[in-house]
């Protein structure tokens, strides 16, 4: 039986290749996700190893807020002195780290792939403690700085050039005194700039103090013992840890990031796999349908049903194995494509480079997924094949698959109901992100299977309707194409369903995106009253210097410029034991430049230890205007804040808004970036008239972008579009697989209809007409899939929009234009999918075809 299976596989090479290809694409996405994540991990692991390097210790303040590394109080000079005089310590150096913005001329220096721009203090006498190596030039003196070798190369910076460093202080020019390198190869894509200690303390606001202290032990002294000793002997609130701990913390931080990234990619991979499963299932069903007589003969000569079933499953197993192996290697290619897509979406920065890593688990995951999905998809065709009676060998046209049986309809309806329930549960219940995501995924999957089952019912009328214009357009071939598309509703439905899955997700993303744009547009109109907005360049969370707002306020014609502080990263305070994102701003002008729809209270009083709270948390914590709430800040610790107002619109500022002075006291100097600013002009000042003056200031802040209302709207919409394109490009893999599914189905249909096509050719159908017939059939199937996809996508999009918080999306919008584009693309996809099968049909030797038995 095994030999027979193998022979039957090899006898149909094209079918084998097409089926395998569908699995390969799905598997390659999975392995690509793993390869990309593992490769990123290896980059960061390498950095971690370099951090751990030759053993050293770090002394630092103990976190005042758990898991918030920004909440460590600075280390004073006296502590550094104490460390240096501790027995067993060879030397110690205070470290200052800042997040400045660097520019060369008016070009902002950008790190790679979301890595930071980091400034450190560096002095020649303790250079070996820094981890930096001077490659050229010398350590920086006053008004001097060193830059790392990669940045120097990328931006063509040489010793003696001038760079601008912006920090908490006004922008300052520095002369490049040397070129440096961190560790062995500068790692991770970060931009490094080094200044001397006095300058770093001034720029980053560490008066006579440091972020942490790097400590080298005397030769022969055990680092962990020294760490324990230092922790014991130093004043309370300071701790000493070994370099391994620091490296571990670094790895953990990036591991979290990579895991999220990988999970996101695997979601797309899962979509691709679902589509593959549809196609494998359909292919097996068609092929076995064509082999009914052969299988009947096998049964007649004594093969048991079980043997037939095993034979089909072995075939699936072989395909799964081949596809998994090929898929892993194809994953290398996919890695490249994914990288390209992400780079396209990002700010030209991309992901850090590194060698591609195929870990053992990639092989395991690929095999499990590839073989598993193929076997699962083959189960139902295998069972049906096993039930073929021996009589099928003698009779022509024993139908293996009926059209749309009642059972099919009932199962379809049940699954559909289950899918909708799961989706709604997933969006409404608050059972944790993981479980909600699982529910959503399960709901969508059930819905897809349900639609594919039920679409059998509408496939025939749908093909007729879609075929109608085609019949007008190309009479005979159009009519035949329509008939062919509707002759086997199950096949048409399955093939179209594969396309439906991918397109449903594309459509859903588009619906959500459009709704978001619509929401944003109405927010802009109703609540953003400012004339100009300042945003962070490239929309990063690093923010811009608060100096900008101060300078804007000096400009003639500006009524008020309001800054919103909260970066870099996300500033968080602790309320009732939970971390809350918080924004610092000022009460003056707040209601005018940004209206957050106060329900109760006023803006005034914010400056006096006040806080503005969104209605949701206010309700959760039963806060009313006039009451106090205790919040804990990283630097200033616990503080009583008085609720001055409760607001409704959290779409721009989030849930918690405090005064700038509260913010400045509460967070360490490194976290004093403005994320956003809004500028209102004086009555009578013209936008065009003030703009040049604003530009003159903004040009000194390349990390910030100044925009008027129209530009701001366009930018935000552009960002949404970029995100949509990125997501859809990744979903696009599933669509490509689905198009291959159409190729597969048509190819098999052409084989199946060899005689019929021969007859048509004999009675005078030209090759061109033959090709046209196949092409229109493909187009009808593709457009059917497209229509189904769009309808399901609108449904999913509607559920998603309903589920999202009101602060995020309020309006619902349907992107009609995009849907028209999708349908046009379906037509194109159909035409492309038909190329090979159509050519095959047209090239059929008429004589062979009609003699074919």
Partner 1 sequence: MTTATSTSIAARAVKASKVYGSGDTTVRALDELSVDLASGELTAIMGPSGSGKSTLMHCLAGLDNLSSGKVYIGDTDISELSERALTLLRRDRIGFVFQAFNLVPTLSAEENINLPRQLGASTPPESWVKKVVQAVGLSDRLQHRPSELSGGQQQRVAVARALAGQPEIIFADEPTGNLDSKTGGEILQFMQEAVRDLDQTIVMVTHDPSAAAHADRVVFLADGRIVQELITPSADLILDTMKRLGD
Of 196-204, 479-487, 711-719, 830-838: span binding partner 1 (CB under 8 A): 479-487
Is position 475 an interface residue for partner 1 (rule: CB under 8 A)?
yes
User: From the CB of 480, what's the least distance to partner 1, in Å?
Assistant: 7
Where b means 16+ CB within 10 Å and e means fewer, 593-624 reads bbbbebebbebebbbebbbbbbbebbeeeebe
User: From the CB of 833, what's the least distance to partner 1, in Å?
Assistant: 20
User: From the CB of 454, what's the least distance to partner 1, in Å?
Assistant: 23
Is position 769 an interface residue for partner 1 (rule: CB under 8 A)?
yes
User: From the CB of 718, what's the least distance to partner 1, in Å?
Assistant: 49
Of 407 and 768, the one with the shorter C-beta distance to partner 1 is 768
The binder of partner 1 chosen from 5, 423, 484, 655 (CB under 8 A): 484
Please answer whether residues 571 and 582 qualify as being in contact, where contact means their C-beta atoms are separated by less than 8 angstroms: yes
User: From the CB of 768, what's the least distance to partner 1, in Å?
Assistant: 8
Residue 668 CA to residue 204 CA, distance in Å, equals 10
What is residue 353's DSSP assignment? P
483: nearest Cα among 465, 501, 499, 464: 464
Of 592 and 755, the one with the shorter C-beta distance to partner 1 is 755
Of 269-277, 450-458, 471-479, 605-613: span binding partner 1 (CB under 8 A): 471-479
Tokens representing residue 502 in the block: 């991918």
How many residues bind partner 1 (CB under 8 A)? The answer is 22
342: phi then psi, degrees, rounded to nearest 5:
-65, -40
Is position 460 an interface residue for partner 1 (rule: CB under 8 A)?
no
User: From the CB of 738, what's the least distance to partner 1, in Å?
Assistant: 25
User: From the CB of 283, what's the least distance to partner 1, in Å?
Assistant: 22
Please answer whether residues 354 and 47 qualify as being in contact, where contact means their C-beta atoms are separated by less than 8 angstroms: no
Tokens representing residue 482 in the block: 């329509």
User: From the CB of 707, what's the least distance to partner 1, in Å?
Assistant: 60
Residue given tokens 């459009």 in the structure block? 514
User: From the CB of 400, what's the least distance to partner 1, in Å?
Assistant: 16
Where b means 16+ CB within 10 Å and e means fewer, 349-384 reads bbbbebeebbbeebeebbbebbbebbbebbeebbeb
Of 447 and 481, the one with the shorter C-beta distance to partner 1 is 481
Of 297 and 846, the one with the shorter C-beta distance to partner 1 is 846
The binder of partner 1 chosen from 307, 427, 479, 579 (CB under 8 A): 479
Of 85 and 853, the one with the shorter C-beta distance to partner 1 is 853
- Write the DSSP assignment of 173-242 as a string of letters: EEEEEEEEEETTT--TT-EEEEE-HHHHHHHTT-TTEESEEEEEEPTT--HHHHHHHHHHHSPTTEEEEE
Of 11 and 763, the one with the shorter C-beta distance to partner 1 is 763
658: phi then psi, degrees, rounded to nearest 5:
-120, 175
Residue 120 CA to residue 130 CA, distance in Å, equals 9
Is position 398 an interface residue for partner 1 (rule: CB under 8 A)?
no
Is position 402 an interface residue for partner 1 (rule: CB under 8 A)?
no
Q: Where are the beta strands (DSSP E) in 1-65?
A: 57-61
Of 300 and 846, the one with the shorter C-beta distance to partner 1 is 846
The binder of partner 1 chosen from 12, 202, 408, 767 (CB under 8 A): 767
User: From the CB of 500, what's the least distance to partner 1, in Å?
Assistant: 24
Residues 9-28, interacting with partner 1 (CB under 8 A)? none
805: nearest Cα among 519, 404, 394: 519
Residue 49: Cβ within 10 Å count? 14
Is position 661 an interface residue for partner 1 (rule: CB under 8 A)?
no
Of 74 and 489, the one with the shorter C-beta distance to partner 1 is 489
Residue 213 CA to residue 192 CA, distance in Å, equals 19
* Helix, coil or strand: residue 75: strand
Is position 42 an interface residue for partner 1 (rule: CB under 8 A)?
no
Where b means 16+ CB within 10 Å and e means fewer, 498-512 reads bbbbbbbbbbbbbbb
Residues 726-765, interacting with partner 1 (CB under 8 A)? 755-756, 759-765
User: From the CB of 398, what's the least distance to partner 1, in Å?
Assistant: 13
- Write the DSSP assignment of 710-763 as a string of letters: HHHHHHHHHHHHHHHHHHHHHHHHHHHHHHHHHHHHHHHHHHHTHHHHHHHHHT
Is position 256 an interface residue for partner 1 (rule: CB under 8 A)?
no
Is position 476 an interface residue for partner 1 (rule: CB under 8 A)?
yes
Residues 792-851, interacting with partner 1 (CB under 8 A)? 846-847, 850
The binder of partner 1 chosen from 263, 526, 630, 766 (CB under 8 A): 766
Of 219 and 764, the one with the shorter C-beta distance to partner 1 is 764
The binder of partner 1 chosen from 55, 86, 438, 483 (CB under 8 A): 483
Cα three-residue angle 47-48-54, rounded to 5 degrees: 100
Is position 487 an interface residue for partner 1 (rule: CB under 8 A)?
yes
Dihedral angle over CA of 600, 606, 610, 613, nearest 10: 40
Is position 394 an interface residue for partner 1 (rule: CB under 8 A)?
no
* H helix count then E strand count, the chain: 24, 27
Q: Which residues bind partner 1 (CB under 8 A)?
A: 475-476, 479-480, 483-484, 487, 755-756, 759-767, 769, 846-847, 850
């Amino acid at each position: 039986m095994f030999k027979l299976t193998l022979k039957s596989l090899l006898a149909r090479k094209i079918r084998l290749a097409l089926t395998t290809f569908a699995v390969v694409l799905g598997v390659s996405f999975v392995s690509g996700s793993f390869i990309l994540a593992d490769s990123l991990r290896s980059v960061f692991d390498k950095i971690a190893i370099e951090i751990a390097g030759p053993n050293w210790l770090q002394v630092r303040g103990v976190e005042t807020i758990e898991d918030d590394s920004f909440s460590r109080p600075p280390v004073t000079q006296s502590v550094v002195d104490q460390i240096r005089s501790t027995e067993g310590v060879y030397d110690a150096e205070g470290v200052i780290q800042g997040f400045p913005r660097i520019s060369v001329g008016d070009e902002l220096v950008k790190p790679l792939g979301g890595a930071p721009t980091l400034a450190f203090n560096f002095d020649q006498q303790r250079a070996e403690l820094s981890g930096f190596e001077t490659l050229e030039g010398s350590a920086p003196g006053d008004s001097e700085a060193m830059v790392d070798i990669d940045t120097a190369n990328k931006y063509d910076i040489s010793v003696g050039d001038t760079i601008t460093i912006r920090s908490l202080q006004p922008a300052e020019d520095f002369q490049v005194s040397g070129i440096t390198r961190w560790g062995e190869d500068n790692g991770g894509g970060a931009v490094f700039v080094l200044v001397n200690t006095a300058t770093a303390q001034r720029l980053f606001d560490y008066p006579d103090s440091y972020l942490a202290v790097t400590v080298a032990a005397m030769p022969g002294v055990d680092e962990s013992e020294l760490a324990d000793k230092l922790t014991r002997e130093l004043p309370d609130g300071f701790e000493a840890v070994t370099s391994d701990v620091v490296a571990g913390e670094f790895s953990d931080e990036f591991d979290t990031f990579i895991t999220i990234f990988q999970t996101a990619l695997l979601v797309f991979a899962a979509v691709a796999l679902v589509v593959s499963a549809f196609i494998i299932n359909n292919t097996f069903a068609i092929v076995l349908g064509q082999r009914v007589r052969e299988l009947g003969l096998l049964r007649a000569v004594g093969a048991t049903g079980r043997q037939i079933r095993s034979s089909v499953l072995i075939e699936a197993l072989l395909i799964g194995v081949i596809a998994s192996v090929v898929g892993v290697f194809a994953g290398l290619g996919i890695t490249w494509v994914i990288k390209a897509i992400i780079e396209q979406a990002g700010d030209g920065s991309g992901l850090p480079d590194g060698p591609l890593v195929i870990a053992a688990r990639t092989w395991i995951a690929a095999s499990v997924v590839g073989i598993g999905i193929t076997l699962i998809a083959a189960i139902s065709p295998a069972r049906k094949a096993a039930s073929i009676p021996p009589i099928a060998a003698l009779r022509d046209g024993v139908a293996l698959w009926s059209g749309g049986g009642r059972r099919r309809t009932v199962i379809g309806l049940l699954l559909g109901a289950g899918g909708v329930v799961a989706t709604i549960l997933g969006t409404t219940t608050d059972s944790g992100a993981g479980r909600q995501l699982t529910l959503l995924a399960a709901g969508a999957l059930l819905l897809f299977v349900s639609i594919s089952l039920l679409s059998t019912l509408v496939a025939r009328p749908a093909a007729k309707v879609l075929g109608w214009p085609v019949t007008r357009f190309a009479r005979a071939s159009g009519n035949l194409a329509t008939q062919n598309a509707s002759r086997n509703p199950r096949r048409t439905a399955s093939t179209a369903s594969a396309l439906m899955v991918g397109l449903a997700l594309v459509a859903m993303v588009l619906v959500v995106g459009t709704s978001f744009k619509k929401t944003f547009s109405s927010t802009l109109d109703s609540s953003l009253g400012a004339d100009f907005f300042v945003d962070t360049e490239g929309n990063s969370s690093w923010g811009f210097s608060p100096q900008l707002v101060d300078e804007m306020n000096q400009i003639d014609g500006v009524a008020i410029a309001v800054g919103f502080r909260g970066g870099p990263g996300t500033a968080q305070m602790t309320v009732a034991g939970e971390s809350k994102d918080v924004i610092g701003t000022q009460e003056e002008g707040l209601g005018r430049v940004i209206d957050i729809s106060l329900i109760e209270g006023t803006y005034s009083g914010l400056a006096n230890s006040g806080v503005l709270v969104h209605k949701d948390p206010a309700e959760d914590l039963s806060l009313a205007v006039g009451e106090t709430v205790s919040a804990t800040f990283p630097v200033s610790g616990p503080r009583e804040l008085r609720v001055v107002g409760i607001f409704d619109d959290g779409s721009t500022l989030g849930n918690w808004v405090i005064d700038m002075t509260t913010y400045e006291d509460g967070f360490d100097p490194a976290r004093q970036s403005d994320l956003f600013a809004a500028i209102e002009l004086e009555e009578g000042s013209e936008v065009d008239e003030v703009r040049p003056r604003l530009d003159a200031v903004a040009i000194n802040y390349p990390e910030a972008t100044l925009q008027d209302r129209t530009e701001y709207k366009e930018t935000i919409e552009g960002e949404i579009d970029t995100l949509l394109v990125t997501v859809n490009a990744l979903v696009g893999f599933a669509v490509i697989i689905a198009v291959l599914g159409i190729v597969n189905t048509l190819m098999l249909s052409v084989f199946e209809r060899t005689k019929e096509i021969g007859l048509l050719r004999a009675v005078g159908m030209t090759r061109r007409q033959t090709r046209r017939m196949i092409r229109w059939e493909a187009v009808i199937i593709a457009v059917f899939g497209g229509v189904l996809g769009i309808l399901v996508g609108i449904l999913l999009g509607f559920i998603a929009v309903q589920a999202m918080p009101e602060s995020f999306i309020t309006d619902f919008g349907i992107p009609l234009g995009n849907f028209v584009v999708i349908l046009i693309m379906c037509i194109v996809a159909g035409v492309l999918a038909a190329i090979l099968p159509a050519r095959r049909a047209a090239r059929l030797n008429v004589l062979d075809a009609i003699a074919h038995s």
